C-alpha cells in the first residue's frame, strides 16, 4: 500500500499554485510517475495536490500565430492521436506514441512527462544517492549500463522523457504559472544539468506548475521524426533516441535541431551536428559527418560504451529517413 | 494544513476502516456517458488518516464508499468491492495485470488513486460476462488457448476489450502495439494475439 498523504483537490488554478507551494506538497496529474516514486520511497509527500481536473490546463488548439497550444493535462494518447500534431509536428506525435505503454499513455500527461523523475536504479532504489541529498552517485563505480554518455557531472542520470526531446527539437516553450506570476520558458532552458543542480531536473520553483506547452508555427519545409532504441519490443525507456526537426529549402537543410534522448541528464542538443547539417544536402556524406559530430564529445562510462554506437546508428537512421 | 479542518469530510466517526463499503445502488447499466473531459469536480481536502466519499460505477453498478487518499483503485476493487478478477502483479505500472477500463480507456488500476476515480465508469473483467456466459473476448481466449498459468489473463482480456472498442478490426501490428502494456511471464503472446483477432470476429458476429 502507498504511504499516507493528505489529498487536496483545489477549486481553482490559483489555489493549486498556493497549495503546491506548501511544504511537502507534490502535484498529481496522471500520477503514473508520482505514485511509483511514493510507493518506492524515492521521496515522500505530506500532501498530494491533484490538478487533473483543472479545465484551464486541458485542450489542444491552434494559436493565433499559427502554432499550437497543448494544455499540460493533455494525455500522451491524445497527443499521439492528434491529426494536426501527426501532420505538422510528427516528431512529437512519435515521441508521445513511443513513451511507456498504451495504458500509461491513456493516463500520463505531457506536463507530468516533462516533469517526471529519473529512472536511475540507484535513485529509484534504496540508495541515498547524491540526487536524494546523499554524498555519492552510486552509478560511477556501479552498474552504469543505462547511464549517460553526455552531460554527466557528479551524477549520471539520463532524462527519461520521450516527449521532451521532441519539444526541444521543435523549439517549444512552456508556460509556467507560479506564486509570483507567469513565465514562458523555452523547453531548452527548462531542464537542469547536474552541474547546475544535482537535486532537480527542471527549473520549476516550489508552487510552479507547467500550464501549457506552446509550439511555434511549423517552419517552411519542416520535416521531423523521432526514433527510439529500447532493449525490447514492448514498453521501455530509451537506451538512445534521436528527435530531429529540420527545415529544408532547395534540397538543403536550412535550419532546425537534432536532440538526443536516453543518453544525457537532459534532452541533449547535438549542436555540433546541427552545424554540420546546415546549408548541406542531407546526403550520405553529410549524414556521416553529422553522426561523427554527434558522438565527438561522448564520455562513456565503464559499462555504457555501447551507447556511443547506438547513437551513431539511431542518428544515421533518423537523418536518412528525413532525406 | 490544519486550518482547513472546517471543510474536511471527516469520516472516521463510528465507521471502522474496513467497512466503508456503503450502499450498492440500483443498476445503471447502459448509461455510460463517456468522454475525454473530466467531470466537473468540487474542491476537496482529505487528511491522510481520513476518508472521502466517492461514487464508483463499476460494471454498471453504483458503489458509494469512503476511501483513504492513498488507496488505489486496485485496492478498492479487490479488497473492498471483492472484485478480485483484477489482479495485482507489480503495483508499479509495469505488468498490466491490473488493467481496467476507465471511461472506456484501458488504464492501470494500481496507478490510479481511488479518490481520482470518483464518478468514473469502470469496467473490470467481471463486467465482460454476458450473464453467466463468457463475453466474446473471454471466449476467444479460451478458444485460442491464450494462457498458461492465467495470471495475466484478466488484464489481457480487458486490454483487448479496450482495444476492440476503439478499433473493432485491428491488424497484427496494431494488436502487438496496443497489447504491449500487458506482460505475460508464461510467454503466451502468440496465442494472445490470435485470441484478439478471434475476439474481433466474435464481437462482430454477436450483437450486444
Ligand atoms: C512502467 C513505466 C514505463 C514508462 N515508460 C516511459 C517511457 O518510455 N517514456 C517516457 O517518456 N515516460 C515513461 N514513463 C513515465 C511517465 O509516467 C509517463 O510518461 C507520464 O507522461 C507521466 O505523466 P503523469 O501525468 O502521469 O505524471 P505524474 O505522475 O502526475 O507527475 C510526474 C511528476 O511531475 C510533476 N508534475 C505533474 N504535472 C505537472 C505539471 N503540470 N507541472 C509541474 N509538475 C508536474 C509531479 O509532481 C510528479 O513529480 C513510464 C512510466 C512507467 C510507470
Ligand atoms: S499491477 Fe498494475 S501494472 Fe502491474
Ligand atoms: S499466462 Fe501466465 S503470465 Fe500470462
Give the domain extent around B64. 50-128
Q: Are residues B110 and B157 in the same domain?
A: no
Is the residue at B44 inside a domain?
A: no
The last residue of one of the domains, among B77, B104, B128, is: B128
Mean pLDDT of chain A: 97
Residue B111, SS3? helix
Query: For residue B139, what is the domain's CATH number?
Result: 1.10.150.120
Q: Is B75 within the bounds of a domain?
A: yes
Which tens digit of pLDDT belongs to each residue from B176-189?
A: 999 999 999 999 99
Q: Categorise residue B47: left if φ over 0, alpha if ψ from -120 to 50, beta otherwise.
A: beta
Tens digits of per-residue pLDDT, B59-108? 999 999 999 999 999 999 999 999 999 999 999 999 999 999 999 999 99
* Contact B172 CB / ligand 3 (< 6 Å): no
Q: What is the mean pLDDT of residues A280-285?
A: 98
| Cα A247 to chain centroid, rounded | 22
Residue A233 binned pLDDT confidence (cut-offs 50, 70, 90): confident
How much is the pLDDT for B40? 56
Write out pLDDT tens, residues A107-128: 999 999 999 999 999 999 999 9
B176·A77 Cβ contact <8 A? no
User: Is B43 a member of any domain?
Assistant: no
Q: How far is the CA of A273 from the centre of ligand 1 (A)?
A: 30
Grid cell, residue A226, equals: 523521432
How many CB pairs lie under 8 A apart between chains A and B? 120
| pLDDT band, residue B207 (cuts 50/70/90) | low
Domain limit, last residue, from B104, B128, B152: B128
Residues B120 and B140 in one domain: no
Q: Domain check: are B58 and B122 in the same one? A: yes
Q: Which ligand lies nearest the alpha carbon of A39?
A: 1
Per the structure, the count of domains in chain B is: 3
Return the C-alpha cell found at A254: 536550412
CB B161 within 8 A of CB B96: no
Reported as a single tens digit per residue, the pLDDT across A234-265 is: 899 999 999 999 999 999 999 999 999 999 99
Give A3's contacts in chain B (Cβ within 8 Å): 70
Q: Are residues B153 and B106 in the same domain?
A: no
Show which residues on chain B lie within 8 Å of chain A, measured between beta carbons. 1, 36-38, 40-49, 52, 68-72, 75, 91-93, 96, 99, 105-108, 111-113, 115-116, 159, 163, 176-181, 183
Among residues B95, B128, B161, which one ends one of the domains?
B128
- Which residue in chain A has the smallest CA separation from B79? A1
In a domain, B183, yes or no: yes
pLDDT digits (tens, 9 = 90+) for A309-322: 999 999 999 999 99
Q: How far apart are CA A9 and CA A54, in angstroms?
A: 9
pLDDT digits (tens, 9 = 90+) for B14-35: 333 333 333 333 333 322 333 3
End-to-end CA distance of chain A: 51
B52, β-bridge pairs:
B67
The predicted pLDDT at position A25 comes to: 98
Statement: A54-323 belongs to CATH 3.30.465.10 = yes
Is B27 part of a structural domain of the chain? yes
> Can you tell me whether residue A90 is helix, strand or coil?
helix
In sequence order, the 6+-apart residues with CB closer than 8 A to the CB of A142 are A122
Rounded Cα–Cα distance for residues A49 and B3 (Å): 16
Residue A262 beta carbon below 6 angstroms from any ligand 1 atom: no
- Quick check: is B90 in a domain? yes
Let me know if residue B8 belongs to a domain: yes
> Is residue A79 predicted with pLDDT exceeding 50?
yes
Predicted structure pTM score: 0.93
Answer yes or no: do B99 and A101 touch at CB < 8 A: no
Q: Do B108 and A10 touch (CB under 8 A)?
A: no
Note whether residue B40 is domain-resident. Answer: no
Closest CA to B69 of B1, B159, B14, B123: B1
- Mutate which of B5, B12, B39, B41 to disrupt the A interface (most A C-beta within 10 Å)? B41
Residue B63 and residue B18 share a domain: no
Of A9, A35, A102, the CB nearest to B44: A9
Residues 6 or more apart in contact with residue B175 via CB below 8 angstroms: B163, B193, B196, B197
- Better-scored residue on pLDDT, B11 or B175: B175
Amino acid at each position: 500500500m502507498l504511504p499516507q498523504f493528505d489529498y487536496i483537490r483545489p477549486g481553482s488554478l490559483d489555489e493549486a499554485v498556493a497549495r503546491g507551494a506548501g511544504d511537502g506538497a507534490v502535484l498529481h496529474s496522471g500520477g503514473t510517475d508520482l505514485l511509483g516514486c511514493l510507493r518506492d520511497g524515492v521521496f515522500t509527500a505530506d500532501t498530494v495536490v491533484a490538478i487533473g481536473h483543472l479545465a484551464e490546463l486541458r485542450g489542444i488548439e491552434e494559436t493565433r500565430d499559427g502554432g499550437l497550444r497543448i494544455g499540460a493535462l493533455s494525455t500522451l494518447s491524445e497527443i499521439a492521436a492528434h491529426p494536426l500534431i501527426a501532420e505538422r509536428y510528427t516528431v512529437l506525435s512519435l515521441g508521445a506514441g513511443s513513451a511507456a505503454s498504451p495504458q500509461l499513455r491513456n493516463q500520463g500527461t505531457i506536463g507530468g512527462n516533462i516533469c517526471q523523475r529519473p529512472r536511475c536504479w540507484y535513485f529509484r532504489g534504496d540508495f541515498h544517492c547524491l540526487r536524494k541529498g546523499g554524498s555519492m552517485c552510486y552509478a560511477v563505480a556501479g552498474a552504469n549500463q543505462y547511464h549517460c554518455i553526455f552531460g554527466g557531472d557528479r551524477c549520471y542520470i539520463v532524462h527519461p522523457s520521450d516527449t521532451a526531446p521532441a519539444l526541444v527539437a521543435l523549439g517549444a516553450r512552456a508556460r509556467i504559472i507560479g506564486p509570483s506570476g507567469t513565465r514562458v520558458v523555452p523547453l531548452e532552458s527548462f531542464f537542469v544539468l547536474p552541474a547546475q543542480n544535482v537535486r532537480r531536473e527542471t527549473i520549476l520553483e516550489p508552487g510552479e506548475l507547467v500550464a501549457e506547452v506552446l509550439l511555434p508555427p511549423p517552419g517552411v519545409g519542416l520535416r521531423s521524426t523521432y526514433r527510439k532504441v529500447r532493449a525490447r519490443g514492448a514498453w521501455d525507456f530509451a537506451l538512445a533516441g534521436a528527435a530531429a526537426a529540420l527545415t529544408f529549402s532547395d534540397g538543403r537543410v536550412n535550419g532546425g535541431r537534432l536532440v538526443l534522448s536516453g543518453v544525457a541528464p537532459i534532452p541533449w542538443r547535438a549542436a555540433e551536428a546541427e552545424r554540420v547539417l546546415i546549408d548541406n544536402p542531407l546526403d550520405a556524406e553529410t549524414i556521416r559527418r553529422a553522426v561523427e559530430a554527434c558522438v565527438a564529445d561522448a564520455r562513456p562510462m565503464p559499462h555504457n560504451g555501447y551507447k556511443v554506437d547506438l547513437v551513431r546508428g539511431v542518428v544515421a537512421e533518423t537523418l536518412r529517413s528525413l532525406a | 494544513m490544519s486550518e482547513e479542518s472546517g471543510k474536511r469530510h471527516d469520516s472516521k466517526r463510528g465507521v471502522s476502516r474496513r467497512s466503508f463499503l456503503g450502499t450498492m445502488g440500483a443498476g445503471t447499466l447502459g448509461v455510460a456517458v463517456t468522454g475525454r473531459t473530466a467531470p466537473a469536480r468540487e474542491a476537496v481536502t482529505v487528511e491522510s488518516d481520513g476518508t472521502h466519499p466517492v461514487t464508483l460505477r463499476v460494471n454498471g453498478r453504483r458503489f458509494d464508499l469512503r476511501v483513504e487518499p492513498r488507496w488505489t483503485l486496485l485496492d478498492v476493487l479487490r479488497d473492498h468491492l471483492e472484485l478480485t478478477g483484477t489482479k495485482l502483479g507489480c503495483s508499479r505500472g509495469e505488468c498490466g495485470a491490473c488493467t481496467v477500463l476507465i471511461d472506456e480507456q484501458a488504464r492501470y488500476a494500481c496507478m490510479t488513486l481511488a479518490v481520482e476515480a470518483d464518478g468514473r465508469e469502470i469496467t473490470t473483467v467481471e463486467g465482460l460476462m454476458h450473464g453467466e456466459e463468457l463475453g466474446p473476448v473471454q471466449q476467444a481466449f479460451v478458444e485460442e488457448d491464450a494462457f498458461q498459468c492465467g495470471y495475466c489473463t484478466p488484464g489481457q482480456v480487458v486490454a483487448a476489450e479496450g482495444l476492440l472498442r476503439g478499433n473493432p478490426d485491428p491488424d497484427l501490428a496494431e494488436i502487438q502495439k496496443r497489447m504491449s502494456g500487458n506482460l505475460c511471464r508464461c510467454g503466451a503472446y502468440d496465442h494472445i494475439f490470435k485470441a484478439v483477432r478471434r475476439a474481433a470476429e466474435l464481437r462482430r458476429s454477436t450483437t450486444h
